[in-house]
Chain A
């Protein structure tokens, strides 16, 4: 059990910067997910924490101890690799016991811990098998088991579910979440899959191009993204973006894109009034664009029309690919929607859930204002 701190951490490979001035404080017992596209520096950050990569600049602390120059084996961390990295010539039992044996743990203690962990993971009948005799899901559990028996202060997981098929992945997700609750240990989990990040993390650190973009609860990341990257990365299908200009006419704040004009309701407009006249990026999530005939009650709609290009019936919802003035965007509508390909469709944008970003800096214009709103704090522990 321990806290983890990254303080002004840099990693350079020759001239390329892999991690740029990373600052993260991970609380004890937290489940922090590092997420981002490939090459964003998330794995490198984890590997620096594990001691597999040298830290070019800055400090990493586990608990109160600076671990920059501490060997991996002395950092009290355990890691689950994407490839599982099981020792092929050892049985499952030997794989799980290997770390303890090297630490000269007494035999009975090893035996007890290995059997207990195996039982809790449902692999106690596989202890005599070798890795090549196991399925992907079983190997994954052995890899987790090998980490558990060590009883480390921090669990590190580097895309542990990437090699599982879709169904197993969903099972493994809840299995790892339960494991975290049961062990009460700090978990740091790297993934490129935003669904894994959203469902498992108590907090999520979104990285891109070696830089931390935002670190927050899943709820806040979704509802108050700090910049265009985070807004587009979190959520599926991703947020629609439009180049727009923010205008003020007769005391009303209006978002004007080449395709349409959207007057903002006063409560929303007031947050952006100071930015009138600016070029902005207007963002709206597909789930905030509704078929006018099936809009939910209580939203503040702005009605626009567009051509329907593709209709995807998902059963519980419908994805409409819409086009207006050469700009395509997606709406997630009620499955009863009568939209037809090639026809015009009227849709209602829920203006209370829109996002506006500065066109130059790509930063959210209302990030601080929304942070202060009480309803954005909820939905997390």
Chain B
């Protein structure tokens, strides 16, 4: 019985394959085209950033290789003489605390929303979700007024607080859903083993949530690093302005110095890329495999 049916079973996929040509090569072509379109501006920016100003004014970046004229002067100029070095440091000074703070606050809040029973929990969580749909722009003026009253305007910690607050709703939402998906048995087992809430949070939930925390960290880092609006509004002090504000200023003050623009934009782009590639290995799924048998 099995010997007679087996060959037929094997042949079926082959027969289908003969009838319908595999769309795989088509898919690859489409993907390559999309990738090229997506990458072209960045490649152009990269090449432009290495060309002397005269060459930029003279011809497009796609002609840069004939004849090849490249220079590091743009980067030197950006990092050392345009005040961009300072802005680069400021960007880190703003971004790192503005990434870590919301992560800490959001993970604690998310744990409470996911696993602690307190009256009105679901309503408060609903309130957090509603904050997700409020446009940031509508809050700028009242928050700025409040910051002025509190003396936070133009300070680094004021900017940290602003970024943290604006980042929290999404961070809480993402982490709560991740925490809620952890198996309940783990919590109960830990509780019987003698763990209190803080121990469960720090020794069970956080280690198991590395993928979620890593993705959130990437999101928040890029959001803050690339932010122009909040820095423009809340950072009136030029001493602490991040790269985005400085680059934007270049557009206005000089009649668009492309060589400086492109080099500084690329410096600014490089950091999120490094962060992404450094953290992407934590995107591994299945880190919880083996916890409970499903």
- By a CB distance below 8 angstroms, the chain A residues around B199 are 102
CA A89 to CA B287, docked complex, whole Å:
8
In the complex formed, the residue of A with least CB distance to B195 is A102
CA A26 to CA B172, docked complex, whole Å:
46
Q: Point out the residue from A52, A82, A83, A98 that lies within 8 Å of B193, measured CB to CB.
A: A98
In the complex formed, the residue of A with least CB distance to B187 is A85
- The CB with the most chain B CB atoms within 10 A, among A78, A85, A99, A139, is that of A85
- The verdict on A134 contacting chain B, using a C-beta distance below 8 Å, is yes
- The verdict on B291 contacting chain A, using a C-beta distance below 8 Å, is yes
- The verdict on B8 contacting chain A, using a C-beta distance below 8 Å, is no
- The verdict on A336 contacting chain B, using a C-beta distance below 8 Å, is no
- By a CB distance below 8 angstroms, the chain B residues around A274 are none
- By a CB distance below 8 angstroms, the chain A residues around B294 are 83
- The verdict on A232 contacting chain B, using a C-beta distance below 8 Å, is no
- The verdict on A87 contacting chain B, using a C-beta distance below 8 Å, is yes
- The verdict on A335 contacting chain B, using a C-beta distance below 8 Å, is no
- By a CB distance below 8 angstroms, the chain A residues around B194 are 73, 99, 102-103
Listed stretches A34-42, A125-133, A234-242; interface member: A125-133
Q: Point out the residue from A85, A98, A131, A133 that lies within 8 Å of B185, measured CB to CB.
A: A85
A83 and B183: CB pair below 8 A? yes
- The verdict on B89 contacting chain A, using a C-beta distance below 8 Å, is no
- A residues 54-77 near B (Cβ < 8 Å) are 71-73, 77
A88 and B289: CB pair below 8 A? yes
- The verdict on B192 contacting chain A, using a C-beta distance below 8 Å, is yes
B204 and A83: CB pair below 8 A? no
B191 and A130: CB pair below 8 A? no
> Could you tell me how many residues of chain B have their Cβ less than 8 Å away from some Cβ of chain A?
26
- By a CB distance below 8 angstroms, the chain A residues around B195 are 73, 102
B191 and A83: CB pair below 8 A? no
- The verdict on B188 contacting chain A, using a C-beta distance below 8 Å, is yes
B186 and A52: CB pair below 8 A? no
In the complex formed, the residue of A with least CB distance to B199 is A102
A81 and B290: CB pair below 8 A? no
B292 and A84: CB pair below 8 A? yes
CA A103 to CA B196, docked complex, whole Å:
11
Q: How far in angstroms is the closest Cβ of chain A from B71?
A: 50
B292 and A85: CB pair below 8 A? yes
- The CB with the most chain B CB atoms within 10 A, among A50, A77, A84, A146, is that of A84
- By a CB distance below 8 angstroms, the chain B residues around A85 are 183, 185-186, 188-189, 291-292
- By a CB distance below 8 angstroms, the chain B residues around A130 are 290
B188 and A133: CB pair below 8 A? no
- The verdict on B108 contacting chain A, using a C-beta distance below 8 Å, is no
- The verdict on B24 contacting chain A, using a C-beta distance below 8 Å, is no
B193 and A99: CB pair below 8 A? yes
CA A84 to CA B204, docked complex, whole Å:
15
- By a CB distance below 8 angstroms, the chain A residues around B286 are 132
Q: How far in angstroms is the closest Cβ of chain A from B178?
A: 14
- By a CB distance below 8 angstroms, the chain B residues around A102 are 193-195, 199
- The verdict on A136 contacting chain B, using a C-beta distance below 8 Å, is yes
CA A83 to CA B290, docked complex, whole Å:
10
Known pairs A85-B292, A88-B287, A89-B207; A73 contacts B188 (CB<8 A): no
A50 and B291: CB pair below 8 A? no
In the complex formed, the residue of A with least CB distance to B293 is A163
Q: Point out the residue from A51, A81, A89, A136 that lies within 8 Å of B189, measured CB to CB.
A: A81
- By a CB distance below 8 angstroms, the chain A residues around B208 are 88-89
CA A71 to CA B188, docked complex, whole Å:
12
B287 and A72: CB pair below 8 A? no
- The verdict on A157 contacting chain B, using a C-beta distance below 8 Å, is no
B185 and A83: CB pair below 8 A? yes
CA A103 to CA B289, docked complex, whole Å:
27
Q: How far in angstroms is the closest Cβ of chain B from A75?
A: 8
Known pairs A73-B193, A89-B207, A99-B194; A81 contacts B289 (CB<8 A): no
Known pairs A81-B185, A83-B183, A83-B185; A88 contacts B290 (CB<8 A): yes
CA A99 to CA B291, docked complex, whole Å:
17
B207 and A83: CB pair below 8 A? no
Known pairs A83-B183, A88-B208; A139 contacts B192 (CB<8 A): no
Q: How far in angstroms is the closest Cβ of chain B from A46?
A: 11
- The verdict on A4 contacting chain B, using a C-beta distance below 8 Å, is no
One digit per residue, 1 when the CB lies within 8 angstroms of any chain A CB and 0 when it does not, for chain B 169-198 equals 000000000000001011011111111100
- The verdict on A330 contacting chain B, using a C-beta distance below 8 Å, is no
What are 20 of the A-B contact pairs (CB < 8 Å)?
Answer: A51-B192, A52-B192, A71-B191, A72-B188, A78-B192, A79-B189, A81-B188, A81-B292, A83-B185, A83-B294, A84-B292, A87-B189, A88-B289, A89-B208, A89-B287, A98-B193, A99-B193, A102-B193, A102-B194, A133-B290
| Top 7 A-B residue pairs of the complex, sorted by shortest distance between their CB atoms | A132-B290, A83-B292, A131-B290, A99-B193, A85-B185, A85-B189, A102-B194
Known: A72-B192, A73-B192, A130-B290. 11 other contacts (CB 8 A): A52-B192, A73-B193, A79-B192, A83-B292, A83-B294, A84-B292, A85-B188, A85-B291, A99-B193, A102-B199, A134-B290
Chain A interfacial positions (CB closer than 8 Å to B):
50-52, 71-73, 77-79, 81-89, 98-99, 102-103, 130-134, 136, 139, 146, 150, 163
